[in-house]
Structure formats: C-alpha cells, structure tokens
Amino acid sequence: MSWLAEVAVLRPWWLLAIPLALALWLRRRRMATGLGAWRRAMDPALMAAMAALGRVRPGDGRGLWPPAVVIAILAAALAGPAMRRDGGAEGLRNLDGMAILLDLSPSMTSAGPPTGAVVAARVLMDAAGTRGVGVIVYGGDAYVASPFTVDRDAVSRMLGGLDGETVPDPGSRPARALDLAAAQFGRAGILSGDAVLISDGGGVDDAAMDAARRLRRSGARLWTVYAPPVDDEAPRDPAALARLAEAGGGRGARAHEAGALAERLGAGFDARLREAGLAALAWRDWGRGLAVLALAPLLLMFRRRA
C-alpha cells in the first residue's frame, strides 16, 4: 500500500501515554466500583446491616472515563500524526538532493541499452520523495544529463533514451562523474545530498577513490549499485564499487537491492530533517486538529451531577 509511505508519526514516544492512561482508568474504576478499604475497616455484620438499609452504595465508575479519553487523545495528538506535503519540495530543494551517476561506458552499452542500470535508477528516483534528483552520465568523460528537478516524468523519459551513443568519449572514468556531482551539489546550493553511482565497477582507481573522499568532505555521501555489464567478456568488480562507496561515506548494493537502498536513503533524509528541525517542511502535522477532539470529553468533566 503506497499510501503508507505518505503517513508518519513525528513523535512516536508520546503514544506510550495511551496504555498508561488505560491502566490508570482501570485502576481508578476498580477502586470506584468497590468498597475498597471500608470492608477491612468495618465489622462484616455492620456492613451487611447497612447494606440492607440501603446505606451502602458502591460507585459505578461512569464519571472516570472522560479524563482517560482526554489523556489518550492528547497523547495521540502530541505524537504528531502527519502526512507528507505535496508541495514541500520547493522548501526542501536546497536542503537535500540526489544525484544519480550512470555508467554508459562500452561494457555497459555495447550490446544495447543499459536496461538493468536504468531500472535501478528509476527505483531510486521514485523513492526520492520531495528531493530534487539530478542525473549524470559518464564514460571517458562525464556530462549532466538532467539538473536537479522534481519532475520525475521528464527524468524517466530521459533515462529511457540512454544508450551507447549518449556519451561520445570511450572509456570509464567514474572520478570525472564524482567531481561533476560535487560541483552540481555546490552549484545548486544543496547543503547535503546523496550521490548514487550505478556501474559494473570499471574504472575504479586511485583517482576515483580520491574523488569519493572529496565528495564526502563536501557534505554529500556516495552509494554504489552494481549492475552487471552487458558485455560478457568485460571485467566485473562489485568489490571495487563497495570500496568506492565506503570511501564516500556510504555503502554498496547490487541492482536487485535498489529498492532496499532507496528505503534507506529515504529514511536517512527524514532523519536529517528531524535533526535540522525542518520536518514541518516535509510533513503536515495533524496533531493540533486532533487535540481539538479532546474538548468534548473535557467539557463532560465539568457537567453538573445530580
């Protein structure tokens, strides 16, 4: 159910007050509906005689539920039930962003379009939420295929047109793509971001490692996704990609793990929003509206009793 991704609880620890309110209500009700310490303080025969005369009237506990309901509603409101804002992207554009770096070297495109890499890129893009997504393609050199944007449809159409002729420079130089990603983050004024490099691991050398470290020092993190080359004779080096990701402060993954990586990046983005105190830019908090519902049982607490 995709709608669950649009719902969140901003301050979940307040939900612990709900079972506490229920426990207090049950305890008070048990005390109110019985005679409690009176049975221990009075002679049993005297208690029976007073009951026969109608002088003993145990409480029914009916007046105890409004306070418990008020506490439960306020706890739910303070927990911050929220839905993701549809228009929050504009306010978050300069806070975070995702750059997808696609390897279009001959080993990835000689037998046709890099279908596996494009599918992984689309999975990551669809899970980016309110963040702007940019695309960089590289081979022997690197180029910006799409600047940071929230127009997912336009980026998806562009990805579908990538092939072996997109990058005219032969070879595989991920270092150029990483340096270009760092420059794009700085040019867009993005304070922190994630760069995801999708490749077969070709061209990972000392220059690429240095570029990954520079990207990390700039405030971004590097993640890698290993996509097998379409050329069966091309070298496969997923371990090199994993080392590259570690140098950039992230982790490596396989193409079939792109969904899990997307979830991890989304969770990290929301965590950074909370740390920066900017969750209100991405989420619409319905807690205040829910707190209004507590007025009904609260008014019942002030009603006159016969």
Q: Over range 16-42, report the average pLDDT.
A: 72
pLDDT tens digits for range 180-193: 999 999 888 887 78
**CA torsion angle for 81, 86, 87, 90 (degrees, to 10)?**
90
- Which range among 83-97, 149-163, 220-234 has the greatest average pLDDT? 149-163
Q: Is the pLDDT of residue 74 over 80?
A: yes
Question: Where are the domains positioned within the chain?
Answer: 12-81+286-300, 89-282
Q: Which residue has the higher pLDDT, 22 or 40?
A: 22
Residues sharing a CB contact under 8 Å with residue 25, sequence separation 6 or more, in sequence order: 64, 65, 67, 68
Query: What pTM was computed for the model?
Result: 0.61
Strand-strand pairing, 81-84 and 283-285: antiparallel
* Residue 212 pLDDT level (bands cut at 50, 70, 90): very high
Residue-level length of the chain: 306
Q: Per mean pLDDT, which range of 1-15, 208-222, 238-252 is the poorest? A: 1-15
Sort strands 220-226 and 252-254 into parallel, antiparallel or unpaired: parallel
| Whole-number pLDDT of residue 101 | 96
Measured distance CA(30)–CA(295) in Å, rounded: 26
Q: If you average pLDDT over residues 93-104, what whole number do you get?
A: 82
- For the cut 70, the answer to whether the pLDDT of residue 88 exceeds it is no
CA-CA distances (angstroms) from residue 190 to 97, 178, 201? 7, 15, 27
- Taking the C-alpha atoms of residue 83 and residue 88, their distance in angstroms, rounded to an integer, is 11
In whole angstroms, give the CA distance from residue 197 to residue 117. Answer: 10
- Among 72-81, 136-145, 275-284, name the one with the lowest average pLDDT: 275-284
Within 13 Å of residue 207, how many CA atoms lie on the same side as its CB?
10
Superfamily of domain 89-282: von Willebrand factor, type A domain (3.40.50.410)
User: Tokens 């539920």 label which residue?
Assistant: 65
Q: Write a three-state SS string for 32-93.
A: HHCCCCHHHHCCHHHHHHHHHCCCCCCCCCHHHHHHHHHHHHHHHHHCCEEEECCCCHHHHC
* Residue 274 in tokens: 């909370």
Q: Is the dihedral of CA 107, 111, 112, 115 positive or negative?
A: negative
Query: Cα separation of 267 and 153, whole Å?
Result: 23
Model pLDDT, residue 216:
93
d(CA 179, CA 105): 17
Phi and psi torsions of 245, nearest 5°: -65, -40
